[in-house]
Chains A and B, each alone.
Chain A
């Protein structure tokens, strides 16, 4: 459950928890024996085997054609078809390498696609409860009152 610390100007604070409502499954896929099947995501292709990579490796697009007839340079038999479980989203540069430090800009465009405004993107700071603990109000209360 995600939690958020909130407080008013007088320092009175609380932890608010939030939980998503789980949507009921409306369609279940079963096999011919009526058993629930499982869906998995598979690796189909990666950047090191795409058209640009093959072209660079072969030395020209016309040579890729010969390579495709002679073998399967676009397939990595060791990894393609493997199940993907924990993946991450990353930024890559035009060379296909992971970029760790990026600058982002918001480009506001008119309905016709022309640029109206360009500004650095503001990333909202997360406000979920982290290391910040609730503050003690300093008040002592009777057991019967709480």
Chain B
């Protein structure tokens, strides 16, 4: 975001300018989406993507909350002191050492459950992504897909489309910003030939286990064996 600060401006005017820009007044920033570049058959294909939202197909439900005077209400957080009302964005996460000292995020080390260091992955938009691995339908269906993008390209991607139309599904690690664990990206076409990029993560079915029997205390010797009936009404 750029600010037009003139030499003749007073400090108070500059702060006011920053405030108005922060409040979104007069902002005309346009953010262009960086294309996802796929490498297939020796050709680099820049892809434009449009997210397919459920709400685009079926609509959506908004919940409106009104007070007794009919004014719109908003959700906020009430701190434990019972008086501080925290608006959205009014909290932050911090990392503390075992002694309770502040730690900078960049000084922390990500590890897996065994304590092995995890190497971060780069963003899929940082460079071309090689399409080398194909996936079967079983693999695709064993993923929890959380985002679907309709893709298009002005590049030479006829060969890739032909391959996809044969029913081939290409799989590759996908990470929007880069991070510790990439998602699974799948490139496939719908029945009408429209190509899509589906992003998700592998489902993990956890087996909880069979119900465990409660421990039964042994009856004491000489317990009243004469009374053979249990009266549930006494419980």
Contact = CB atoms under 8 A, between A and B. Distances in A.
Interface in A49-76: 50-51, 61-62, 64-66, 68-69
Given A29-B110, A111-B55, A102 B73 contact: yes
Contact of A27 (B60, B98, B112, B232): B112
A99 B67 CA distance: 7
A103 to B, nearest CB: 5
Nearest to B18: A65
A102 B67 contact: yes
A104 B74 contact: no
B220 interface: no
A41 B208 CA distance: 32
Interface bin, chain A: 35 or more
A48 B76 CA distance: 13
Given A65-B11, A102-B73, 20 more contacts: A21-B206, A27-B180, A29-B110, A31-B109, A36-B98, A44-B90, A47-B85, A66-B12, A84-B77, A87-B79, A87-B80, A90-B85, A92-B75, A92-B76, A103-B67, A104-B64, A106-B64, A111-B59, A140-B232, A144-B228
Interface of A: 19, 21, 24-32, 34-48, 50-51, 61-62, 64-66, 68-69, 79, 84-94, 96, 98-99, 101-111, 116, 121, 136-144, 146
